[in-house]
Structures are given as C-alpha cells and as structure tokens.
Amino acid sequence: MRAAIGRGVLFVGLLIPLVPLAFWSITRTWQYPALLPQEFSMRGFEDLGRPGSDLLQGLTTSSIIAVIVTFAAAATGLSAGRALGLYSFRSKRLVQFLMLAPVIVPSFAVTMGIQVLFIRVGLADTLWGVALVHMIPTVPYVTLVMGSVFANYDIAYEEQARVLGASSLSIFRRVTLPAVFPGLAVASLFAFVISWSEYILTFLVGGGTVKTMPLLLFAYIGGNDSTKAAALGIIFVIPPLLLLALTSRYLTGSKKAISGLGQL
C-alpha cells in the first residue's frame, strides 16, 4: 500500500513540471488563478512557424553546430577510446584524468580563458568557434564511453579477419565498427544533445552573434511572453526526446553513457 502511494508520488513529481509548460504553449489567455487556460490558441507555435522568425535561424544554427560536433566527437572519441580500452601504457591514468576532467569540470570556466585566444585568431563570434568550443565537453565524454566499450571488446575478431586476408580499412568497416556501434550510437547521440542544449559556451564565444536555440529560449524566458517561451521550449525538447527514443534499445545496460549525462 505504501509502495503504491510512493509510486504515485514519484509519477506525479516527475511529470508535474511539464504540465504548466505544456498548457502555456497553447494559451491565448491564462490569468491567475485559473487551473486551465481560459482561452486556447496555437498562436505561440504559429508565430514561431512564420518565415523569417527567429525559430528557423535558431534551428539551422543549432543543427549545423550539433551535427559538426557530433561527427567530430564520434571520430576522435572512437579512436581515443580504442587506445584507452585496448592498451595499457605508462601515462594511462593521466590520460584518463584528462578525459574525465572536462566532463565534470564546468566548461565555461576554461572557455572564458580561451576566449582571448579565439579573439586573436578570429574564431570569436563565428559558428566554427562555437562548434570548436562545444567539443570540450563532448569529445572526452565519447572517449570515455568508447573506452568502456573497447575494454569489453574482443580483439580476436580483428585478428581472425586479418588472418583471412582483410585490409585494415576493411577490418574497420566490417568488424570493428559494427561491433562497437551500439556504444558509439549512444555516445554520439548524447554528444548531439549536449551540443544542442549548450548555452553559456555558445554565449561566451558566439558573443550573441551565433544564435542557437538555447540563446533564443533564454531571451524569450526573460521576456513577458510565456506562451512564446513555452512553445519554443516544447519545440526545443523534441529532437533530443526523439533521438533518445530511437537509441533506447542501445541504452539499456549502458549506464556509462548515462553517467556522463550530468552535462545536460
């Protein structure tokens, strides 16, 4: 009996913050103290959907950056993870620390420092500059997850393929990649979500010129229009939720991937 109450409380607690958010996004008027909006409307979404609205620019910018970051993090993380998982070497603990630190240490602190360099080389206020700085939290994260994957990987498959005459490229494409794909998929998707949700790094390096969705949402939250903010928030949330649903079958058992999600 107590357990059933507990489950109810858990259920409500998890979902209740989403309730006003959802309702506000479809509100025309919702004055205090009504529990439901007095008038509904899709104005919020319509305004956002109009051509020339901020939404399109935000979506494009965010997507481009996130895609660049995801592929770069996947590639570098895959190879670095292989090194960590399959080999032991003298400075391994140091490398592990170097990979762990950027995942846990807040990136904005070092980004503030690097901004000086970015200005000097002309990367400040550019999309590439922002993409570059998004790699700070993502590359180490993918590296650590792939390190785990490779630690449980049996190199015998590759040796077998080599004995059968396969070239290195072939081995990578047909043996290694398929074997590590689940872990790689999960790590990459989370890298995407980290970049997609990133605010302060984009703000510091982009200088307000590079307008991603989080910057947009931040601005709307500061404004007076709860409907618009809520509508944007809902649109903002959909890609991460979708991607997570797609990879959910790879997710079970991959608690290492989840551990890095403190980022979000």
Partner 1 sequence: MSFRGSSVAEPAPYGAGSAPGSAIQRSARLPGEWPDGLKVFALLSPALFLIVVLFLGGFAFGFLQSLGLLSFVGDGSLSFSAYLRMFEDPAVRASLPLTFRISIISTVLSAILAVASALLIRSTKRGQKFLVTIFQLNIPIPHIVGALAMMLLLQQSGYFSRIAFALGLVSSPAEFIPLVADEFGVGIIAHYMWKEVPFIGVVVLAALQSGVSDYEEVARSLGASSWNRFRFIILPFIAPSVSSTSIIAFAFTFGSYEIPFLLGRPFPAALPVVAVQSYRDSDLLSRPEAMATCVAITIFISILVYLYMRIVGRYTGGVR
Residues 113-142 that bind partner 1 (CB under 8 A): 113-114, 116-117, 132-133, 135-136, 139-140
User: Among 113, 160, 162, 159, which Cα is nearest to 136's?
Assistant: 113
Q: What's the CA angle centered on 145, arms 139 and 151, to 5 degrees?
A: 130
42: tokens are 């899709």
Mention every residue, 6+ apart, whose C-beta is less than 8 A from residue 189: 70, 243, 244, 246, 247
Query: Quick check: 177 binds partner 1 (CB under 8 A)?
Result: no
Nearer to partner 1, 51 or 252 (CB): 252
Residues in binding contact with partner 1, number by CB under 8 A:
107
Query: Quick check: 64 binds partner 1 (CB under 8 A)?
Result: no
Helix H or strand E encompassing 28: strand 27-29
Nearer to partner 1, 56 or 117 (CB): 117
Nearer to partner 1, 52 or 90 (CB): 90
Contacting partner 1 within 202-241 (CB under 8 A): 204, 214, 217-218, 221, 226, 229-230, 233, 236-237, 240-241
Mark the segment that binds partner 1 (CB under 8 A) among 38-46, 47-55, 77-85, 169-177.
Answer: 77-85
Pair 153, 51: CB distance under 8 Å: no
Query: Quick check: 86 binds partner 1 (CB under 8 A)?
Result: yes
Half-sphere exposure of 81 (CA within 13 A, CB side): 30
Q: Find the binder of partner 1 among 143, 176, 188, 202 (CB under 8 A).
A: 143
Query: Quick check: 176 binds partner 1 (CB under 8 A)?
Result: no
Q: Find the binder of partner 1 among 39, 41, 151, 223 (CB under 8 A).
A: 151
Per-position DSSP letters for 124-178, written without gaps between them: TTSHHHHHHHHHHHHHHHHHHHHHHHHHT--THHHHHHHHTT--HHHHIIIIIHH
Q: How far is the CB of 49 from partner 1 (least distance, A)?
A: 19
19: tokens are 């309730």
Contacting partner 1 within 39-58 (CB under 8 A): none
CA atoms of 40 and 37, how far apart (whole Å): 6
Q: Find the binder of partner 1 among 35, 121, 164, 169 (CB under 8 A).
A: 35
Q: Is the dihedral of CA 46, 50, 52, 58 positive or negative?
A: positive
Q: Find the binder of partner 1 among 40, 49, 56, 104 (CB under 8 A).
A: 104
15: tokens are 């979902």
Mark the segment that binds partner 1 (CB under 8 A) among 37-45, 50-58, 71-79, 171-179.
Answer: 71-79
